[in-house]
Amino acid sequence: MSYLVLARKARPQTFDEVVGQRPVVKTLQNSLLRDRVAHAILFSGVRGVGKTTLARIMAKAINCQQGPAENPCNVCESCRTITAGSSIDLYEIDGASNRGIQEIRELKEKIRFLPTSSRYKIIIIDEVHMLTTEAFNALLKTLEEPPAHVYFMFATTELHKIPITILSRCQRYELKRVAPIDMGKHLQKLAESEGVQIEQGALDLIVREADGSVRDGLSLLDQVFSFGEKNISTDDVIQVLGLVSREVVLKLTKALLEQDPVTAFQALEEIFSFGMDLKRFTTDLLGCFRALILCKIKGCDELLDLAQQELVLFRELAGNHSSQTLHMKLTLLLQGVEEMRYSSQPRLAMETTFLKIIESSEVTPVTTLLSRLDSLLAGAGEAGQQSGQAGEIVSSMPKKKQPSPPVAEQKVIYKQVVEVQAPQDEKPAVSAAPVEPPGQAEVEENVVEEEDSLDDTSALLPDLKNSPDATPALRLEPHQRSVRRDWMEFIAYVRERSVWISQDLQRADSAKEQGGELLLHYVDPANCSMLRKDENKKLITEFTLDFFQKELTVRFVIPDQNSEATQDGQESPLKERHLLANDPLVLMTAEIFNGQIGDIRVGPRFR
């Protein structure tokens, strides 16, 4: 007899032998014990997880002469014939080769008759999603109300391709991928039964390549047994399966993170010289970066199927870099892998991708950049205020020496200054005689030492002009700011407090003061949509009061959409100018010739 591969030799024959599908197995066993078996059962899942195997075990359990029991006996005639595939009451067909309506009609004719040697007829359709729409429609009525002696069992890897009318008539069981721990134990048990010693690292590689499929794992294990002797090492698995050594992939990952191009290109040369499939290599490299990102997320490292030694290495490597940096490098790697698949020079495309990843520096979070920008803006604001104060001090200093006024005028000024600086709590003595200033010689000496006594005296006036005790001659009117003259200074004043408000104010087509109101005219209402909100309008009013020293009511003047047309139904000149200025053809022409839009004239004269 020809050799029987492990995928067939180790196929489970009872529910207890099924690997990694405990919830489904328990539900099926309870349905058998409580006589609640559905007449139509649908098993779905990825390849090699036990769909067809569970259907066969279920068929044996239903027709077992000792049951229905939670486990078939595998001894009675019914169990042995089903195991051998010779039972005449079990119809196991392939949906891909029997997908037409004629095959379904023939099947319906067969199930009309009672079973020959078993209690029930079992219909197993593998890859049932391959049936045509007509075949599914022909099966609908029979599947909903089948004969009492018939059970249907379907298996599929693409559940979404099955019509909802079929799904609603079946009891569905979704089989999951087998966990790496369960897979490793199962393969280790099979290796021991075959008398083969296999290293743990080699077993981990097989489990990783199986990707949750027991059949794939058994096929790989069978291939490794054919290559090696009684002792299977990790290098044997690498050579047989065409894998790259895990150390090479980890070395390459570390070089990309630590910006070491020499090590990265040497590792890539080693991989190419080994002759490994690029798709498998890039998959392993992407898996390493995924593991690094999961290690950065607290609690997600448990999702990784890695040996403890590798897990410690990934945690240590991920701790040296931020999550943003790892995410950026993974994004660049993904883009490079896509480019490599469609490139005529895949190695060159991969080397270019590595250079991009290596040259990319550490990523700084946006929150950190914003905080730095805020601190810089705050520092610039303080520096501007200090420079403004210095400018006021400099402006109060004498620009050039002025001729000294007559002594009589100095006496009057001195007398007024003395009266203003007298303490309020001390009442000056009532005297008809005025207070005499120092002698003329002292005043002249003051002039010589200070070079300009009048300027020194006038330097005191800004501090005294608003004093309630100052005489009318010393009360000076403050500089009256106007909207028309000082509008740009007002924009700069607002910019120190809110950048975006100053930008929107600068977009105003005109600004003027009229009747205690600040009229802001906007041709495009979109330029002031945010400013018209109550909270922003209140801020502008406060800025206006602080800068112009007067209460002005802010009012926005925007075009009335209902009055944009003239009496003859045409657009108003203002609206027409605005439309022409934003015309795509005009904008494109200005961009091509590197020009600017100047005066826009509309009307019959200019057409």
pLDDT band at 417; cut points 50, 70, 90: very low
The encoded tokens of residue 16 equal 């207890």
Write the pLDDT tens digit of every residue in 60-111: 999 998 877 788 998 999 999 999 888 999 999 998 888 899 999 999 998 9
Q: Are 64 and 78 in contact (CB under 8 A)?
A: yes
Give a yes or no: residue 398 inside a domain. Answer: no
- The strand pairing partners of 105, in sequence order, are none
Q: What pLDDT score was predicted for residue 494? A: 92
Q: What pLDDT score was predicted for residue 406? A: 46
Find the mean pLDDT for residues 4-31. 91
Q: Which residue matches tokens 């940096």? A: 325
Residue 453 CA, chain-centre distance (Å), reads: 71
Which residues have C-beta within 8 Å of that of residue 243, sequence separation ≥ 6? 205, 209, 237, 276, 280, 284
The encoded tokens of residue 154 equal 């379907």
Which residues have C-beta within 8 Å of that of residue 404, sequence separation ≥ 6? 410, 447, 452, 453, 454
Q: Same domain for 203 and 323?
A: yes
Is the model's pLDDT at 124 over the cut of 90?
Answer: yes
The encoded tokens of residue 3 equal 């050799």
Q: What is the CATH number of the domain that holds 120?
A: 3.40.50.300
Between 15-29, 186-200, 234-248, the lowest mean confidence (pLDDT) is in: 234-248
358, 375, 327: which is closest to 265 by C-alpha?
A: 358
Q: Same domain for 338 and 292?
A: yes
Find the mean pLDDT for residues 525-543. 87
Q: What pLDDT score was predicted for residue 59? A: 93
- Choosing from 176, 210, 244, the residue where a domain stops is 176
Q: What pLDDT score was predicted for residue 303? A: 74
pLDDT band at 573; cut points 50, 70, 90: low
Q: Same domain for 160 and 240?
A: no
Q: Are 124 and 92 in contact (CB under 8 A)?
A: yes
Q: Same domain for 466 and 491?
A: no
Residue of higher predicted confidence among 232 and 451: 232
* Percent of the chain clearing pLDDT 90 (strictly above): 25
Residue of higher predicted confidence among 446 and 570: 570
Write the pLDDT tens digit of every residue in 321-352: 888 888 889 999 999 999 888 888 888 998 99
**C-alpha to C-alpha distance for 5 and 194, rounded to whole angstroms:** 12
Q: How far is CA 419 from CA 439, 444, 467, in A?
A: 18, 22, 12
Q: How far is CA 93 from CA 61, 90, 160, in A?
A: 20, 10, 21
Q: What pLDDT score was predicted for residue 165? A: 93
> Where is 171: in which H helix or E strand?
strand 171-174
Between 39-53, 153-167, 568-582, 588-602, the lowest mean confidence (pLDDT) is in: 568-582
Residue 525 CA, chain-centre distance (Å), reads: 34
Phi–psi pair at 264, nearest 5 degrees: -65, -45
Is the model's pLDDT at 400 over the cut of 70?
Answer: no
Q: What pLDDT score was predicted for residue 450? A: 41
Is the model's pLDDT at 453 over the cut of 50?
Answer: no
Find the mean pLDDT for residues 414-433. 41
Q: What is the CATH number of the domain that holds 258?
A: 1.20.272.10
The encoded tokens of residue 360 equal 């990319």
Give a yes or no: residue 437 inside a domain. Answer: yes
* Average pLDDT, rounded, for the chain: 79
Give a yes or no: residue 597 inside a domain. Answer: no
Q: Decide: pTM greater than 0.75.
A: no
Is the model's pLDDT at 426 over the cut of 80?
Answer: no
- Choosing from 543, 558, 573, the residue where a domain stops is 558
Is the model's pLDDT at 369 over the cut of 80?
Answer: no
Q: What pLDDT score was predicted for residue 509? A: 84
Q: Same domain for 147 and 17?
A: yes
Q: How far is CA 159 from CA 42, 154, 179, 351, in A?
A: 9, 11, 21, 40
Q: Which residue matches tokens 């029997």? A: 98
Q: What pLDDT score was predicted for residue 362? A: 64
Print the domain residue range for 457. 406-423+433-477
DSSP-based three-state secondary structure for 91: strand
Beginning with the edge strand found earlier in the chain, give each strand of the sheet holding 553-557 in spatial order: 510-514, 517-521, 553-557
Q: Same domain for 208 and 349?
A: yes
Give a yes or no: residue 315 inside a domain. Answer: yes
Write the pLDDT tens digit of every residue in 254-270: 899 888 889 989 888 88
Is the model's pLDDT at 542 over the cut of 70?
Answer: yes
Between 241-250, 272-281, 359-368, the lowest mean confidence (pLDDT) is in: 359-368
Is the model's pLDDT at 459 over the cut of 60?
Answer: no
Q: What pLDDT score was predicted for residue 589? A: 83
- Choosing from 558, 577, 601, the residue where a domain stops is 558
Rounded to the nearest 5 degrees, what angle is found at the Cα of 274, between the Cα atoms of 271 and 280?
60
- Helix 346-359 to helix 246-257 angle (10° resolution) is 50
Give a yes or no: residue 76 inside a domain. Answer: yes
Amino acid at 57: I
Helices (H), 422-486: 440-450, 453-464
**C-alpha to C-alpha distance for 269 and 276, rounded to whole angstroms:** 11
Is the model's pLDDT at 14 over the cut of 80?
Answer: yes
272, 274, 251: which is closest to 263 by C-alpha?
A: 251
DSSP-based three-state secondary structure for 602: coil
Q: What pLDDT score was predicted for residue 170? A: 94
Give a yes or no: residue 1 inside a domain. Answer: no
Q: What pLDDT score was predicted for residue 434? A: 43
* Percent of the chain clearing pLDDT 70 (strictly above): 78
Q: Same domain for 253 and 285?
A: yes
Quote the DSSP letter at residue 153: E
Amino acid at 3: Y
* Total number of domains constituting the chain: 4
Q: Same domain for 473 and 493?
A: no
- Compute the CA torsion angle 300, 23, 136, 103 (nearest 10 deg): 120
Write the pLDDT tens digit of every residue in 143-169: 999 999 999 999 999 999 999 999 999
Q: Same domain for 25 and 156?
A: yes
Phi–psi pair at 90, nearest 5 degrees: -115, 115
Q: What pLDDT score was predicted for residue 469? A: 45
> Where is 339: in which H helix or E strand?
helix 323-341
The encoded tokens of residue 60 equal 């044996």
The encoded tokens of residue 283 equal 């998959």
Find the mean pLDDT for residues 471-498. 74
**C-alpha to C-alpha distance for 201 and 363, rounded to whole angstroms:** 35
Q: Same domain for 30 and 99?
A: yes
Between 109-118, 162-171, 225-234, 465-474, the lowest mean confidence (pLDDT) is in: 465-474
3-state percent helix, strand, coil for the chain, nearest multiple of 5: 55, 10, 35
Q: How far is CA 53 from CA 56, 214, 297, in A?
A: 5, 12, 38
125, 122, 128: which is closest to 61 by C-alpha?
A: 122
Give a yes or no: residue 261 inside a domain. Answer: yes
Amino acid at 241: L
44, 58, 50: which is closest to 156 by C-alpha?
A: 44
Q: Which residue matches tokens 């139904």? A: 569
Give a yes or no: residue 255 inside a domain. Answer: yes
Is the model's pLDDT at 493 over the cut of 70?
Answer: yes
Q: Same domain for 84 and 186?
A: no
Is the model's pLDDT at 449 over the cut of 50?
Answer: no
Q: Count the residues in the chain.
A: 607
Which residues have C-beta within 8 Å of that of residue 268, sequence separation ≥ 6? 252, 347, 350, 351, 354
pLDDT band at 420; cut points 50, 70, 90: very low
Q: Same domain for 39 and 153?
A: yes
Q: What is the CATH number of the domain that holds 521?
A: 3.30.300.150
